[in-house]
Structure 1
Amino acid sequence: MITTETALETGNVAIRLVVILILMIVSIVVIRLGLKILAWPRVRKTKTELDDRILNLFESFLTIAIILLGLQAIIRLFRSYFGTYASFTDDVFFLFYWALGVYFIFRIISIVSNWYLSKIPLHERGEIDKRVIYSVRNLLMLVVSILALLILLDHFEITGSALTAMLAALGIGGIIIGFAAQETISNIITGIVLLIDRPFKIGDRIRIEELDTWGDVLELGWRSTRILTRDNRLVVIPNSIIGADMITNYSIPEKEFRVETHVIVSYGPDIEYVRKLIVDAMKNEDWIMQDKPVQALLLEFTESGVKFRARCWIEDYVETRLSEDKLNTAIYKTLISKNIAMPSSDIVVYFADPEGNRIMPQSK
């Protein structure tokens, strides 16, 4: 026979159940409408798909979390019927929340890594880029997995002396390995940063200022970068050195390069006349880019004459040295043909005459 107390209790449970279901539905509707009104219009204005994917994932995460919270609240209404298994249900829901959180973080890492890889142009995307991005992604996932495992063990109070000793041993071992491979780790980390930041790529001509080394990049490795110099020497440079030094990239934004040389003319001739001769000498050369500035700048007045800086542009930096030779030759021939004196020094060498012990000066 059903008593009044039992009926009231059943009715109370039924009302709570209805309220929980209504709150679940209302929460889901409010969240989706809020995102649709506030977030989605702004996201659609962006040119990338990253915001769309993250917002979709966030919406799904909130929906599942609300459903789990509602189910847990419903099960707690019937907690008295579970007896000793009541705490077990809480542990089961903790596992659901734990798995949902880990999955959400993993998806965020995966979405961001795939988005970054898609931003690299196809003609510049190499196998090394994929390896680096995927390695960083897997490393982040490993760190998240370790932290998640520690949270799981702590919840279930699996923190005995054996686990503590194992974690301490891993920590000490990590410190020892870190000190032993400090330089290698530094090179690898810097290599990853270089590949992500991309200050240069394979085929670029770069100059490492402090080492006074420059050449074409042949390979970007985890530990080092290989450069082929102009005299066909292979230079292997640790990435940590490249990361700490100033790098000049001659290939960005274009391969066009400005060549310049200094010309000293004796005092006397008209400045504008000499300037025109130098500029005309450069413009008569077909290897010079005529659509770029061709200039002869008066740089300074020296003890021996007027110093000009002649400069022009060439299409490819590879021909730098050869272009400098052509430039100097063209200017020299033009000035000599117009009888423009260039300063020279007289060097007097004295020879001793063995017979008369006389000193005879001789110009050289």
Structure 2
Amino acid sequence: MERPSFGIETLSGWWDAAVSYAVPRLPETLALLLGGVLAVWVARKTLKRVQRQVVNRTETRLDDHILYFLHSAISFSIFGVSAWLLIHILAPDGPAGEAPRAATWVVALWVGGLFFPLSRFVGDVLTELQGKLIERTDNTFDETAMPLVIRTVKVLVLGVGVVIALDLMGLNIGPLLAGAGVMGLALSLAAKDTLSNLIAGVLLIMDRPFHVGDRIELWTAPNETGTWGDVIEVGLRATKIRNPDNLVVVVPNNLIMQRDIVNYTMTGDHIRLRIPFSVAYESDIEKAKRLLIEAALEVDGVLADPLPLVIVRGFGNSDVQIQLRVWVKEARSRRKIADEITGKALTSFATAGVEIPYPKRELWIRSVTDSDPHPLPGKPGGGLPAPSPTGPHARPSPSDAVTPAGPASREG
């Protein structure tokens, strides 16, 4: 079999065939192209006039986004229709199926391409909505979650456009969707920690257990890890807390959702402070209560209304457990106020003779005399008797010898 030649003669033949086929249809082609360009120009001029007379006079930017979407959609549609007509002009009687197939692909690309300006339009509208929410609300949901929502919606719109375009082309999208599902499952398993943090971040933003600027504490956090302080950022992956040492602690959101969150400033700046104390049983409890209340009222930041309260909480091995309850003006100064109250209470107790119990032992030494009926070992007239050997092999001592009891040895 003779193999086809792809030399200069073949290329020249193709060129001659293309010229002989296209030249008779050149006027129609040029008219179509000029008509398309003219239609785009007229549409642009019309939309600019609408923008000057209507859009620029309004305060909202929503009409600007609508106008931009219409401009992009109309221009793209004109080019799509022109390409579709051009195919039917240049190949009206070509090989069976070529012209319809090419026209179908043009329609598919046109429909899929319309979703690009549509995706941008949806994103712009959601961005405008985000701005309105920021003005009317004081939470961080719109500032943190809305950007993710906007990006997700735009990607979904583009994905729908791609699926529709592939379906119009006659391609089987079933395997593609199945592959996308498998890939999504693999990615979700590989990034499960990140996804759990994102989901927890969305829940935190929606539930709003705290806001930026709140003083919070994570009760189940390990001690001395700096997981209490002021919230400076609530992100989708983690939350940032500035502790009293001016260190920023980044806590993953999924860990925060597993802990007990204590918000000291959500209900206001005034909070009640509880400080435990202990006094000895021999001390005057009422006097200790009075001293604690006086010490608390001397500290700046303690509210006089309601008055501080001291209650008895229980009884220990060597102490009476009492608790001072005071209301403070500023929640962030609770530890400073507790320190000042404790110091003043210690001074007042020492001055008034109120004993603070502490672990101690008292040693009593008894003096021993010769007449002591129970003298200590090693003392005159005393001494413990040496233990007698016991057991089956022990020999009796002379004093332990058994003698027959006669009449003279019996007691009357």
Task: Tell me the TM-score normalized by structure 2.
Answer: 0.50
Given the alignment, which residue of 195, 208, 217 partners 1:207?
217
Map 1:320-335 onto structure 2 (within 5 A).
Answer: 320-335=334-349
Map 1:85-104 onto structure 2 (within 5 A).
Answer: none
Q: CA deviation at 1:204?
A: 1.5
Query: Which residue identity does 1:133 align to in structure 2?
Result: M
Which range moves more in the overlay, 264-273 or 334-343?
A: 264-273
The 8 Å contact of residues 144 and 234 in structure 2, kept in 1 or not, is answered as: no
Query: Which residue identity does 1:191 align to in structure 2?
Result: G
Map 1:1-364 onto structure 2 (within 5 A).
Answer: 110=126, 117-121=134-138, 129-140=142-153, 142-143=155-156, 146=159, 160-161=171-172, 163-212=173-222, 213-346=227-360
Query: Which residue identity does 2:203 align to in structure 1?
Result: V
Query: Which residue identity does 1:196 align to in structure 2?
Result: M
The 8 Å contact of residues 231 and 242 in structure 2, kept in 1 or not, is answered as: yes
The 8 Å contact of residues 220 and 260 in structure 2, kept in 1 or not, is answered as: yes
Instruction: State the secondary structure of the residue aligned to 1:312.
Output: strand
Query: Which residue identity does 2:146 align to in structure 1?
Result: I
Q: CA deviation at 1:344?
A: 3.1
Report the CA distance shift for 1:346/1:272 in structure 2 as closer, same or farther (over 3 A): closer
Q: CA deviation at 1:115?
A: 6.5
Query: Which residue identity does 1:204 align to in structure 2?
Result: D
Aligned to 1:77: none
Instruction: State the secondary structure of the residue aligned to 1:139.
Output: helix
The 8 Å contact of residues 144 and 236 in structure 2, kept in 1 or not, is answered as: no
Instruction: State the secondary structure of the residue aligned to 2:341.
Output: helix
The 8 Å contact of residues 113 and 137 in structure 1, kept in 2 or not, is answered as: no
Report the CA distance shift for 1:151/1:115 in structure 2 as closer, same or farther (over 3 A): farther
Bigger Rg, which one: 2
Distance in 1, matches of 2:136 and 2:319, equals 55
Instruction: State the secondary structure of the residue aligned to 1:340.
Output: coil
Q: CA deviation at 1:147?
A: 5.5
Q: CA deviation at 1:184?
A: 1.4
Q: Which has the higher helix share?
A: 1
Q: CA deviation at 1:226?
A: 1.7
The 8 Å contact of residues 271 and 331 in structure 2, kept in 1 or not, is answered as: yes
Distance in 2, matches of 1:159 and 1:241, equals 48
Percent of aligned pairs sharing the same letter: 27
The 8 Å contact of residues 201 and 238 in structure 2, kept in 1 or not, is answered as: yes
Q: CA deviation at 1:174?
A: 1.8
Q: CA deviation at 1:298?
A: 0.9
Distance in 2, matches of 1:117 and 1:219, equals 16
The 8 Å contact of residues 117 and 133 in structure 1, kept in 2 or not, is answered as: no
Query: Which residue identity does 1:214 align to in structure 2?
Result: W
Instruction: State the secondary structure of the residue aligned to 1:231.
Output: coil
Distance in 1, matches of 2:135 and 2:155, equals 23
Deviation readout 1:86-108 (Å, 9 max, x if unpaired): xxxxxxxxx9xxx9xx99xx79x
Query: Which residue identity does 1:171 align to in structure 2?
Result: G
Between the two proteins, the alignment pairs up a number of residues equal to: 247
Deviation readout 1:132-181 (Å, 9 max, x if unpaired): 21431442464466468767977x6x6643x2232222222222222222
The 8 Å contact of residues 264 and 308 in structure 1, kept in 2 or not, is answered as: yes
Distance in 2, matches of 1:151 and 1:293, equals 72
Q: Which has the higher strand share?
A: 1
State the superposition RMSD in angstroms: 3.8
Query: Which residue identity does 1:209 align to in structure 2?
Result: W
Query: Which residue identity does 1:168 align to in structure 2?
Result: A
Q: Which runs of 5+ in 2 are unaligned?
A: 1-110, 364-412
Report the CA distance shift for 1:292/1:159 in structure 2 as closer, same or farther (over 3 A): farther
Aligned to 2:405: none
Deviation readout 1:285-341 (Å, 9 max, x if unpaired): 333121234011111122212211012122223323322221111112222222222
Query: Which residue identity does 2:228 align to in structure 1?
Result: W
Q: CA deviation at 1:243?
A: 2.4
Report the CA distance shift for 1:200/1:143 in structure 2 as closer, same or farther (over 3 A): same
Deviation readout 1:220-274 (Å, 9 max, x if unpaired): 2232112222233332111121123221111211233333222222224443333
